Amino acid sequence: MAKALFHPAWIPEPVDPSVERLKRVRVVAGAVAAFGVYTFVQHKFDTTEILGNILTAAVVLLFITPLTVGVMLFVWRRAGTVRQLRRPLLGSLKLLVLFIGMAVAAVLLMQLATAVGGVALVPLGFAALWLIGVVAYGAVQLSGNYFGSAAVHRCLPPLLAAVTTWLMAVPDLVTGDLHGLSLTMGAVFILGAPVTVTAIAALEMNRLRRHHGIRLRAHPATLPVPRPTVSPSPGLHLPSQGTPFPHGNPYGPGPYGG
């Protein structure tokens, strides 16, 4: 169910196995940001803190993702129009709202099950755990394309991942909240995840630029069609060199090209 919901057919397939490996590393770093070094250092799993982090992350995603995409649309305005990207943008927004809605529902249901207790704890707790499982698997599905934003521009997922992790760290940087850790471990807790995710995102975008000619500042409609670098399996029929994507340029108008 989670795969059907969060990895629809209009999301483009990966074109570079090295970039995919970088994405997996970025997912691990993002998981560290979500659960926090605090959980591992203090040797305890604070459910209340984890649920609070999920709600905080949902709020950050809801506001910062459209804002970041809006900034990039402003940057791209000289080479193309927003109308050309309307379909993938709407699809990405729907995925974002769906994911955040399910995450918030899972957290609220878990809190309700804990507060009610008694006989209602079992069905409510089961439903909450099921939702959390769907959200967790959905997060894995969305980690590479970042809510389908890869259908808009291949460089958007690493950019959004870096921006989100930094904004998650800003409140702690401003308040100096080290979560009860020492100065050294507090710095690792606050800065470790955003620095790591940003470095991996930079490597990812650099490889897209060098090997596929995909630049962040270029309007998606002006980008070249990326050619898959994965070796074809025996018996697999690939399109001719002139048409590596038979359905059109994935960066052209609409999520599938023309």
pLDDT tens, 26-75? Answer: 666 666 655 555 555 555 555 666 677 777 778 888 888 999 999 999 99
Q: What is the pTM of this model?
A: 0.76
Please check the confidence at residue 90 and state whether its pLDDT lies above 90. Answer: yes
> Residue 164 has what pLDDT?
86
In whole angstroms, give the CA distance from residue 206 to residue 211.
Answer: 8
pLDDT tens-digit series, residues 95-148: 999 989 988 888 888 888 888 877 777 888 888 888 888 888 887 777 778 888
Selection from 68, 49, 19 nearest residue 166 by Cα = 68
Return the percentage of the chain with pLDDT > 90, whole number. 17
Higher model confidence: residue 87 or residue 171? Answer: 87
Q: Cα torsion at 55, 145, 1, 256 (round to 10°)?
A: 130
pLDDT tens-digit series, residues 172-193: 777 766 666 667 776 777 787 7
Q: Between vectors from CA 32 to CA 27 and to CA 33, what angle results, nearest 5°?
A: 95
In whole angstroms, give the CA distance from residue 188 to residue 29.
Answer: 12
Q: Between vectors from CA 60 to CA 192 and to CA 72, what angle results, nearest 5°?
A: 90
